[in-house]
């Protein structure tokens, strides 16, 4: 038998004579270690520090009896599996025995203790303990063997990982070299395309002039040749434009110019432009359009090019057939979409041909290129433009039956809204000295001399400064870096400054940025109507600006941003007002998805979170928040009108600071209570 000195038996009895008798009896027959306790509380204390294998527990004890002591032992994870043998007087045997077994006793003995019975019972438990120890030893041996095998396997895995890392580094280097070569190719194509477009435009222009001269001089024989020169030049210019667009996309130089577009005007333009091409092959053209188009926020030039590419493709591969152009609206996942569908009954494509459809410089096959011409870039550019504007393209086609191309575009594409596409009228100067850790000031002014003098002055004062020489570049930088303050000259040419200020205050992402206006003294009353933060005299900027920046603690202020995630505009604006009155900056997000998209830029000190929201509710938002190492420590207060279940309360309490019910407070009381909570977090 094993060394039973390793076995600890705890005897609990308020009678010292009983303790002595039991100890003497057990030690006479068994080589075990005896622990003694004169009360239930003392026994619980011993169990906190000692390992016990068996408990002999008297039932009738003062203060805490044996049953209460057994229940306390069973409630602790560390002690709940220790076998307990109850000891009590014989006259109470039946009543106590039933209660003892109900509590979970392993055995029951009556006093006076029968010596042979006691020793036999203890030996029985010792045999079980011995088997348990043997089983544990076997498990330990197996664990040691498994550990040795795992260490060996781990060593082999480490060798394989090192080999794979070397292969990955080689592949990475090869990939970087290939990407560098591809960028060089794209830049070369872009440069060459520019070089070719200038003389081609001259050729096209001269052919048109010579055609007009020939008509005036009555030299009709020259006109067909001049028309061929012009058509060939136009065709070549189109090919070069496609190459230029693709090279810009690959080089990452293709920009979006998002604006509000009247969709009906664009459709009319596209239909009128494509009509002659469709008629060349005797095709019928059917347009299905909604009664009311409305507007779409997108890049108008790229949308026009997408539609013309699809329609010209349909015309190219269809002869004496029908081409259908259908425009519809659709709402998907609370977002509005416009769907453009171009269907033809032309030559169609096989599945193999469709697999190569959007690869650059590739058409269905070589015979298609020989018969129909083209570079194979049109659909590649169409797909790239569509995805740049947050849309998608689908194609369905069967050989000999026809093809259907469908474009899905959101009504509101992401991007920087500007007044018009194309190059800015003011010189393009865009420069920023940025740091994610520092406060950033953005200056927008078309007076470049004052702009850079002002920038140098603020740099000397220790500020991080970004500058833009026109409104459109200013908006781009505002979206990119979300500065703490914008200093804006509202008297730029063509009312551009006032337009930029209106855009800043009407955009939910930019509306929270502090705006300081530079104006002439006579215009100072206008700024209050535009919700600007401050107004300074343009002629005394250098003397006033330091005072204003110090006023708003931009030099050394801690993070004082609160993110309010709330789809109820009344609650959101109420909270914004109260918090801003307490010198907090507030970013208001209408759902969890919007909040997640801006967390990297906003980095709030505190989040006030509603639970019932469209697109992404508060529960899903919390899951994303806590799974991200950068955001998981941001304190969150839930404010909701939802009646939460017990399970929801338990789940939320693991992740949030507190849960507030909107209906418990008035709209005046709740923001004040939230302010107290935020103050506690700020102190801590």
Beta pairing partners, 111 = 89
Task: Tell me 113's DSSP state.
Answer: P
Rounded distance between C-alpha atoms, residue 208 and residue 227, angstroms: 8
Average pLDDT, the chain: 76
Q: What is the pLDDT of residue 384?
A: 81
Neighbours of 327 (CB within 10 A): 18
Q: For residue 432, what pLDDT band results from cuts at 50, 70 and 90?
A: very low
Q: Could you tell me which of 588, 607, 589, 585 has the C-alpha nearest to residue 485?
A: 585
Beta pairing partners, 565 = 589, 609
Name which residue leads in pLDDT, 336 or 549: 336
Q: What angle do CA 339, 342, 344 make, to 5 degrees?
A: 155
CA dist list (Å): 587 to 15, 48, 92, 500, 659: 71, 52, 72, 20, 20
Estimate to the nearest angstrom the gap between the alpha carbon of 337 and the chain centroid: 22
Q: For residue 546, what pLDDT band results from cuts at 50, 70 and 90?
A: low
**Using an 8 Å Cβ cutoff, are 517 and 536 in contact?**
yes
Rounded distance between C-alpha atoms, residue 276 and residue 158, angstroms: 67
% of residues, the chain, pLDDT over 90: 5
Q: What angle do CA 179, 185, 191 make, to 5 degrees?
A: 135
pLDDT digits (tens, 9 = 90+) for 70-123: 888 888 888 888 888 888 775 566 677 777 777 877 788 877 777 888 888 888
pLDDT digits (tens, 9 = 90+) for 650-676: 788 888 888 887 766 655 556 556 666
In this structure, of 20-34, 233-247, 271-285, 381-395, the range with the lowest mean pLDDT score is 233-247
pLDDT digits (tens, 9 = 90+) for 250-260: 555 566 777 78
Rounded distance between C-alpha atoms, residue 117 and residue 481, angstroms: 84
**Using an 8 Å Cβ cutoff, are 309 and 379 in contact?**
yes
Neighbours of 248 (CB within 10 A): 19
How does DSSP assign 262-281, residue by residue? EHHHHHHHHHHHHHHHHHTT
Q: Which two tokens stand for residue 555?
A: 């030099």
Rounded distance between C-alpha atoms, residue 618 and residue 607, angstroms: 11
Task: Tell me 549's DSSP state.
Answer: H
Most confident listed range (174-183, 299-308, 537-546): 299-308
Q: Which two tokens stand for residue 215?
A: 């008509």
Name which residue leads in pLDDT, 86 or 132: 86
Instruction: Identify the helix (H) or strand (E) that includes residue 397.
Output: strand 392-398
Domains of the chain: residue spans and CATH: 4-113 (3.40.50.2300), 259-410 (3.30.565.10), 430-551 (3.40.50.2300), 561-683 (3.40.50.2300)
pLDDT of residue 228 exceeding 90, the answer is: no
Q: For residue 406, what pLDDT band results from cuts at 50, 70 and 90?
A: very high
pLDDT of residue 301 exceeding 80, the answer is: no
Q: Rounded to 5 degrees, what are φ and ψ at 522?
A: -65, -20
The pLDDT of 17-41, averaged and rounded, is 88
User: Strands across the sheet with 606-609, in order?
Assistant: 585-589, 561-565, 606-609, 636-640, 658-661
In this structure, of 159-173, 201-215, 514-528, 617-631, the range with the lowest mean pLDDT score is 514-528
Q: What is the pLDDT of residue 99?
A: 79
Name which residue leads in pLDDT, 584 or 197: 584
Neighbours of 91 (CB within 10 A): 10
CA dist list (Å): 581 to 294, 537, 560, 609, 671: 39, 26, 13, 20, 11
In this structure, of 153-157, 203-207, 210-214, the range with the lowest mean pLDDT score is 203-207
pLDDT digits (tens, 9 = 90+) for 168-183: 888 888 877 777 776 6
Rounded distance between C-alpha atoms, residue 670 and residue 662, angstroms: 7
pLDDT digits (tens, 9 = 90+) for 350-380: 877 877 777 655 554 544 444 444 445 678 7
Q: Which two tokens stand for residue 176?
A: 């970087």
pLDDT of residue 3 exceeding 50, the answer is: no
Neighbours of 465 (CB within 10 A): 22
Beta pairing partners, 519 = 537
Q: Could you tell me which of 222, 204, 205, 400 has the C-alpha nearest to residue 318?
A: 400
Q: What is the pLDDT of residue 423?
A: 34
Estimate to the nearest angstrom the gap between the alpha carbon of 130 and the chain centroid: 57
* pTM beyond 0.95, yes or no: no
**Using an 8 Å Cβ cutoff, are 60 and 88 in contact?**
yes
Q: What is the pLDDT of residue 10?
A: 92
Rounded distance between C-alpha atoms, residue 66 and residue 353, angstroms: 84
Orientation angle between helical segments 471-481 and 496-506, nearest 10 degrees: 30
For the chain, the C-alpha Rg in angstroms (whole number) is 40
Rounded distance between C-alpha atoms, residue 570 and residue 232, angstroms: 62
% of residues, the chain, pLDDT over 70: 74
In this structure, of 336-340, 376-380, 471-475, 571-575, the range with the lowest mean pLDDT score is 376-380
Q: Rounded to 5 degrees, what are φ and ψ at 656?
A: -115, 160
pLDDT digits (tens, 9 = 90+) for 580-625: 666 677 888 889 988 888 887 667 888 899 998 888 999 999 988 8
Q: Going by DSSP bridges, is the β-strand pair 33-37/8-12 parallel, antiparallel, or unpaired?
A: parallel
Beta strands in 24-111 (DSSP E): 33-37, 54-58, 84-89, 107-111
Omega before 112 within 30 of 0, i.e. cis: yes
């Amino acid at each position: 038998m094993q060394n039973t000195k390793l076995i600890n038996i705890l005897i609990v009895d308020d009678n010292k004579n009983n303790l002595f008798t039991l100890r003497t009896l057990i030690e006479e027959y068994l080589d075990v270690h005896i622990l003694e306790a004169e009360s239930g509380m003392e026994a619980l204390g011993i169990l906190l520090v000692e390992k016990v294998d068996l408990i002999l527990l008297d039932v009738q004890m003062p203060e805490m009896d044996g049953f209460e002591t057994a229940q306390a032992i069973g409630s602790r994870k560390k002690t709940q599996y220790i076998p307990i043998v109850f000891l009590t007087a014989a006259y109470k045997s039946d009543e106590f025995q039933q209660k003892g077994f109900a509590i979970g006793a392993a055995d029951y003995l009556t006093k006076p203790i029968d010596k042979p019975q006691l020793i036999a019972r203890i030996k029985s438990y010792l045999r079980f303990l011995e088997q348990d120890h043997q089983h544990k030893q076997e498990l330990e041996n197996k664990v040691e063997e498994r550990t040795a095998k795992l260490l060996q396997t781990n060593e082999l895995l480490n060798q394989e990982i090192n080999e794979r890392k070397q292969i990955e580094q080689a592949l990475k280097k090869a990939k970087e070299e290939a990407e560098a070569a591809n960028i060089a190719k794209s830049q070369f194509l872009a440069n060459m395309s520019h070089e070719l477009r200038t003389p081609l435009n001259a050729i096209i222009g001269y052919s048109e002039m010579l055609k007009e001269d020939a008509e005036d001089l009555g030299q009709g024989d020259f006109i067909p040749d001049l028309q061929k020169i012009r058509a060939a030049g136009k065709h070549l210019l189109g090919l070069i434009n496609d190459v230029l667009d693709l090279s810009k996309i690959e080089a990452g130089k293709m920009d979006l110019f998002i604006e509000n577009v009247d969709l009906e005007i664009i459709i009319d333009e596209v239909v009128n432009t494509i009509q002659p091409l469709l008629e060349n092959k005797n095709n019928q053209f059917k347009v299905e359009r909604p009664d009311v188009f409305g507007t779409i926020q997108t890049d108008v030039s790229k949308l026009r090019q997408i539609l013309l590419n699809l329609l010209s493709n349909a015309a190219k591969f269809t002869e004496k057939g029908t081409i259908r152009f259908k425009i519809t609206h659709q709402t998907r996942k609370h977002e509005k979409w416009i769907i453009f569908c171009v269907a033809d009954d032309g030559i169609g494509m096989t599945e193999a041909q469709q697999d190569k459809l959007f690869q650059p410089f590739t058409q269905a096959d070589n015979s298609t290129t020989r018969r129909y011409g083209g570079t194979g870039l049109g659909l590649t550019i169409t797909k790239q433009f569509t995805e740049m504007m947050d849309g998608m393209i689908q194609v369905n086609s069967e050989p000999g039956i026809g093809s259907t191309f469908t474009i899905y575009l959101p009504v509101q594409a992401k991007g920087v809204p500007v007044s018009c596409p194309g190059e800015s009228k003011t010189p393009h100067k865009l420069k920023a000295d940025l740091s994610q850790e520092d406060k950033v000031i953005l200056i927008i002014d078309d007076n470049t001399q004052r702009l850079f003098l002002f920038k140098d002055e603020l740099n000397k004062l220790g500020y991080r400064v970004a500058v833009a020489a026109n409104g459109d570049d200013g908006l781009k930088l505002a979206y990119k870096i979300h500065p703490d303050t914008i200093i804006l000259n509202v008297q730029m040419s063509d009312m551009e400054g006032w337009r930029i200020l209106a855009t800043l205050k009407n955009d939910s992402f930019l509306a929270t940025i502090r705006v300081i206006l530079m104006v002439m003294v006579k215009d100072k009353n206008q700024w209050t109507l535009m919700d600007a933060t401050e107004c300074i005299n343009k002629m005394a900027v250098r003397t006033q600006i330091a005072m204003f920046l110090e006023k708003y603690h931009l030099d050394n202020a801690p993070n004082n941003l609160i993110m309010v995630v709330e789809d109820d505009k009344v609650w959101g604006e109420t909270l914004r007002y109260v918090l801003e009155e307490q010198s907090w900056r507030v970013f208001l997000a209408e759902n969890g998805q919007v909040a997640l998209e801006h967390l990297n830029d906003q980095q709030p000190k505190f989040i006030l979170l509603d639970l019932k929201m469209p697109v992404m509710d508060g529960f899903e938002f919390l899951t994303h928040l806590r799974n991200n190492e950068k955001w998981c420590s941001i304190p969150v207060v839930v404010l909701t009108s939802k009646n939460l279940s017990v399970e929801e309360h338990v789940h939320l309490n693991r992740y949030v600071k507190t849960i507030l019910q909107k209906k418990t407070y008035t709209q005046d009381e709740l923001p004040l209570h939230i302010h107290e909570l935020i103050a506690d977090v700020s102190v801590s």
